Amino acid sequence: MRDHKILTRAGPEKDMGDMGSGPGPIKFEGHQNYKPNLYWDTLTSDKIKLLVVEGPKRDKSIEKGPKDKSSRQFSATYYTRILPNNEKCDREWLVYSKELDKVFCFCCKLLRKGIAKGQLDNEGFSDWKHLGTRLKEHELGLEHVTNMAKWFEMRERVKKNETIDKVAQEQFEKERDHWINVILRIISVVKFLAKRNLAFRGTTEKLYKKSNGNFLGLIEMLQEFDPVIKEHVRRITNDEMHVHYLGHTIQNELILLLAHEIKSKIIKKVKQAKYFSVILDCTPDTSHQEQMSLILRYVNVSSTSVSIEESFLGFLNVDETTGKRLFDITQDELKSLDLDIDDVCGQGYDNGSNMKGKHQGVQKRFLDINPRAFYTPCGCHSLNLALCDMANTCIKGRDFFGIIQRIYTIFANSSKRWQILKNNVKGLTVKPLSITRWESRVESVKAIRFQISDIREALLQVAESDNDSLIQSQAKSLATNDLGDFEFLVAIVLWFEILYAVNLVSKKLQSSDMLIDIAIKEVKGLISFFEEFRETGLSKAINDAKEIAVEMDVDPVFVQKRVIRRKRQFDENPIDNDVSLSAEESFKINYFLYIVDQAIGSLKTRFEQYTEYENIFGFLFSCAELKSYDDKSLKLSCSKLEVALKNGERSDIDANELFVELRLLNHFLPSENMSPVDVLTFLKQRDCFPNALIAYRVLLTIPVTVASAERSFSKLKLLKSYLRSSMSQERLNGLAMIAIENDLLVNVDYKELVKNFASKNARRIALFSQ
């Protein structure tokens, strides 16, 4: 059997780097750790007192020990002494070690003074033939009787807290309270920095040194006002202690403890919800490592009211971005979180082929295991790609956004030119285009749309004053040929209207509690906008552009441009069948109608998955919709949903039971204007519509966008910056968890957190245990 080693106080340390172990004596950890062959000679007074109170613990399941060479063995009958009058007396002091197959005298081994006088108080007795005789001799001996008296007397005094070292015990309790208060304040500092994405360490880890970082800087600031930290710092600076919990090792430990507390709460809510959706997105970090953000969407049913939540579970380091590898990493992480992949009822990714691929993508691999894991392409990504389709499939569209970017580049590349812009433009500043920021296009166009006259004047000033002839030429060309062209004025009015409408829908879809039914309604509304805009948008844009043209002194007419005719071959028909179009008609057909028709077609194609979900869940989208169904239609919809929620022979709902429940529900719902969330809250409070409850939970769990994952990348850039690019994955995830899900720290039991912190190291147990 492995001996239990007694730890001693650590030696002196020089800086804050590795001060992880707490001061103070070691408190023996309960009777479950009692071993007969401890290093008894090195037991401290605290451990002796604990053993005195706890006493020896017997394994009552052991009736007999193993037989020796003479077929003799220990028997539990030796625990009892038979008195001359046949009364039985318990030998409380006798201990049998199953591992050593020996017996010991507890009180003599614990309290004896000097050299051991027998085997019972030393290495143990195992001569089973003479055990009965030896026990009688021992229990009648003066030393045993003396030690028994000491044992019982000390036990009573300890229970009454009247031991000779009562003062020392009180001092220890005072010291323990001091350290608990110190740790609570250190936890608060860690939480403060982590919530705000601030760096902890500097170039040194010593108090009152320059560049010692935010963590020690806050400790220095607190000591000016807080007596607990002031005393703690005094002890450190006076070299009265060598262990102070201000090093990076303790920082990491506390960060991970806080993150674990948050993650435990999230997993608890996910398990209560049962159904959850997986949202994934990838991005490279500053150290060029691919990070995949894992978000879980679920219906929080832990409180009275129902809410939809999307929670961050961490960044997963990805070494390969194939569909198979991403799926394997996700599956392993779900297993480590003790979450069942069969409970996944939704998937949300961007439009990358490795994610959405129908044959080898992540969504297909999920569906192979769980056919009920409905895949939804990110609505915001789809809108962004629809805009890209509009701009990139039209030459004039590409040229337009090229002009927007060139305007920004001219001013942004020189502080002198930027000052010229500021002198002329008092409102919005010009902004660059961004591939990843969905809102960047409308912001870039907006700044020019409403300040085009001022921006043109700034360009003309650059053309006159700049020393670079190339910049002069570019600025003059932009001011006269582009911003001075009526076609560009009409185009910027059109694009702003289009981008503004798309951006409104995009911002609505980015909400973490967005529902699939609302998303479908918003997308349909956007398609309707484009269909109406196709009929009336151009004429309105031309009228608005004419007002701008008058202000800028630009001729408000489309300039007829020479048509470039292709050289015909000798065998082609010489008759010219080309239709001659006016400049305005050419703009309408080759530009306006082209991009609008492209938008309508792209939206319908990219959101066709929404139509499928509407066919499955549409009858649950609203109470009014549900009440409008007759029995035949409702029964058919229930059957469709049963098939959709089927995995093999098992389905999450029974169509017939769901039909009956919904028919009854129509009579109980208080209003026709209730949303699916309101209906689910109503169902949860009554608990008599189980199939309807499941159906609505699945509906609300299906994701709409990956906006939550995108937002986590914003934190990633703040945490793993250029100066912190070597941060470990474990620390990164801990800080990210605290920064993103810090609302869950509000109700954390910090005393329990201190207990968990103490349990990580045997030295801390005595100091922090209550």
pLDDT tens track for 392-404: 888 898 999 999 9
Please, which residues bridge with residue 293 across strands? 281, 315
Residue with tokens 């801390």: 764
Looking up tokens 């010991």 gives 104
* Contact status, residue 329 vs residue 370, Cβ threshold 8 Å: no
**What residues have CB less than 8 Å from 703, skipping those under 6 apart?**
277, 279, 297, 310, 346, 347, 348, 376
Q: What does the pLDDT look like over 361-413, one tens digit per residue?
A: 999 999 999 999 999 999 899 998 888 888 888 889 899 999 999 999 999 99
Query: Could you tell me where the beta strands, DSSP code E, fall in 340-447?
Result: 344-349, 374-377
395 with 459, same domain? yes
β-bridge pairing 94-97 and 102-105: antiparallel
Joined tokens for residue 693: 């409850």
One domain for residues 350 and 393: no
The pTM (predicted TM-score) of the whole model is 0.74
Distance of alpha carbon 757 from alpha carbon 245, whole angstroms = 11
Q: Do 143 and 274 share a domain, yes or no? A: no
Mean pLDDT calculated for residue range 581-605: 91
User: 367 and 427: one domain?
Assistant: no
Q: Is the pLDDT of residue 314 over 90?
A: yes
DSSP letters, 515-569, are -HHHHHHHHHHHHHHHHHHHHHHHHHHHHHHHHHHHHHT---SPPP----PPPPP
> Do 408 and 367 reside in the same domain of the chain?
no
Residues 451 and 585 in one domain: yes
- Measured over the CA atoms of residue 253, residue 254, residue 258 and residue 259, the dihedral's sign is negative
Max CA distance (Å), the chain? 138
Give the pLDDT confidence score for residue 458 in this predicted structure.
94
pLDDT digits (tens, 9 = 90+) for 447-467: 999 999 999 999 999 999 988
Give residue 205's pLDDT.
Answer: 86
The reply to whether 186 falls in a domain is: no
Cα–Cα separations (whole angstroms), residue 445 to 328, 408, 449, 496, 551: 42, 11, 6, 6, 19
Give yes or no for residue 222 having a pLDDT over 50. Answer: yes
Average pLDDT over residues 98-117: 82
Looking at the structure, tell me whether residues 364 and 416 fall in a common domain. no
Report the pLDDT averaged over residues 268-290. 93
pLDDT digits (tens, 9 = 90+) for 490-507: 999 999 999 999 999 999
Which sign, positive or negative, has the C-alpha torsion 727, 729, 731, 735? positive
- Asked whether residue 187 is assigned to any structural domain, the reply reads no
d(CA 231, CA 612): 67
| Secondary element (H or E) of residue 221 | helix 213-222
The two three-digit tokens of residue 287, written as one number = 């150290």
Task: Report how many domains make up the chain.
Answer: 4
Q: Are residues 405 and 508 in the same domain?
A: yes
Helix (H, G, I), strand (E, B) or coil at 282: strand
Q: Please check whether residue 7 lies inside any domain of the structure.
A: no
Residues 352 and 391 in one domain: no
Q: Report the pLDDT value the prediction gives residue 685, as an integer from 0 to 100.
A: 82
Q: Residues 507, 371: one domain? A: no
Confirm if 95 and 37 have CB atoms less than 8 A apart.
no
Q: Counting beta carbons within 10 angstroms of the beta carbon of residue 461, is it exposed (0 to 12), middle (13 to 18) or buried (19 or more)?
A: middle
Q: At which of 116, 138, 159 does a domain end? A: 159
Q: How far apart are CA 695 and CA 309, in angstroms?
A: 18
CA dihedral over 398, 401, 406, 407, signed as positive or negative: positive
Range name among 221-225, 240-244, 286-290, 670-674 with the lowest pLDDT average:
240-244
Could you tell me if residue 79 is inside a domain? yes
**Three-state DSSP state, 302:** coil
pLDDT in tens, 29-86: 333 344 544 566 677 777 888 888 888 878 888 888 899 888 899 999 999 888 777 7
What CATH number does the domain containing 299 carry?
Answer: 3.30.420
Those residues with Cβ within 8 angstroms of residue 745's Cβ, 6 or more apart along the chain or in another chain: 191, 195, 258, 261, 262, 738
Question: Quick check: is 747 in a domain?
Answer: no
Return the structure tokens found at 634.
């409702």
Euclidean distance between CA atoms 286 and 720, whole angstroms: 6
Q: What is the mean pLDDT of residues 92-111?
A: 87
User: Residue 767 falls within a domain, yes or no?
Assistant: no
Residue 678: give the domain boundaries: 622-638+652-698
pLDDT at 153 over 50: yes
Query: Is 520 inside a domain boundary?
Result: yes
Q: Reply yes or no on whether the pLDDT at 231 is more than 70.
A: yes
Q: For residues 138 and 162, is the Cβ–Cβ distance under 8 A?
A: no
Per-residue pLDDT at 436:
66
Written as six digits, the tokens of 358 are 């129908």
Say what percent of the chain tops pLDDT 90.
Answer: 45
Quick one: 536 and 497 in the same domain? yes
CA atoms within 13 A on the CB side of 498: 32
Q: Give the three-state DSSP class for 314.
A: strand
- Judge whether residue 238 has pLDDT over 90: no
Domain membership flag for residue 167: no
For the chain, helix (H) and strand (E) counts, in that order, are 31, 11
The DSSP bridge partners found for residue 559 are: none
Residues 444, 430 contacting (CB under 8 angstroms):
yes
pLDDT, averaged across the chain: 85
The residue to which tokens 């059109």 are assigned: 494
Rounded Cα distance between 716 and 710, Å, is 10
Task: Please check whether residues 691 and 718 belong to one and the same domain.
Answer: no
